Amino acid sequence: MIKHTRSTLALAGMLVLMSACSAGVPNLVCVGASTTYLDWLEGTLALSEADPIEAPANPGDPADLLAIVQERGKLIISTDADYAPQSYLNPDGTFEGFDIDVGKEIADRLGVDAEFSAQNWDTITAGSWAGRWDISVGSMTISEDRKPIVSFTQPYYYTPAQMAAATSADITTLDQMPDPLAATTLATDANCAEAIRDGRTDFVFWLSSSTTVKEAIDSGIPIVTVGEPVFGEALSVAIDKSGPPHGELLYEIDRIIGEMHDDGTLTQLSNTWFGIDLTQAPPAE
């Protein structure tokens, strides 16, 4: 568990006072391990922007990951098997979701096939992929602590981070929540909602992407959103910095994402999977 003090909550501008409504409600917030939601609860979240990506000075390097992918004829993409509607594994072994369709489109525009590899989120964000997959199309938030580990493209979409609660808690606003808060983690964000569905009672709060929270509510899990989103995230394709040189692949995928923004492909996929266009950067505050 990670204690979350009143001072860090005040700095975040949220969750200011405990009300009578929260009496007797566990102060645990469930989040996925190694996520920015955990960082936010710890008070260590440092969002960032992708570094500028320059065109390769001498394209055609046979050692670059782009050449390796093209020679193989296949782009291996890490994903999450339980993160609907971004990505999920069907009983027949196929993957579906927004991130899956984005990954397929990137591979198609590179002229290769897409292959998906389900991995734990903490394994993906730790880097040192050792060539097991080429890129992550897994809704990875650009943050300062990840930038030394992976290279980021420009964002392909943006999501609000939304607090939620079990309906049994009868809490719908942030100022009704207990203070101080503590965090508890499960392997993925979706596991938190599943635990509430299955009757777990040591926590009633959950912090995740608004898209994942909506998916859980729509699927019948007894949760509700709590207040307005607590922060926003820019989500990007990532490539392991400890792997082969990848300047050419990074440049090409970044170009493809820009093209997909311009031609409306990302907007169409967002509307299909989320029912809303989340591909435009929110206005600067």
**Chain segment 225-236, per-residue pLDDT in tens:** 999 999 999 999
Gap between the Cα atoms of 25 and 99, Å rounded: 35
Class for domain 65-159+232-274, per CATH? alpha beta
Mean pLDDT, residues 175-195 taken together: 95
Ranges of CATH 3.40.190.10 domains, the chain: 65-159+232-274
**The token pair that represents 166 in the structure block:** 């079990």
Answer left, alpha or beta for residue 73, where phi above 0 means left and psi between -120 and 50 means alpha: left
**Chain segment 121-143, per-residue pLDDT in tens:** 999 999 999 999 999 999 999 99
**The token pair that represents 112 in the structure block:** 């290769």
Q: Lowest-pLDDT range, 2-11, 17-26, 74-83, 264-273?
A: 2-11
CATH number corresponding to 2-37+161-229:
3.40.190
pLDDT at 4 over 60: no
Q: By the 8 A CB rule, do 106 and 137 touch?
A: yes
Gap between the Cα atoms of 281 and 235, Å rounded: 10
Q: What is the band of 14 on the pLDDT scale with cuts at 50, 70, 90?
A: very low
Phi/psi at 19 (5° precision): -110, 170
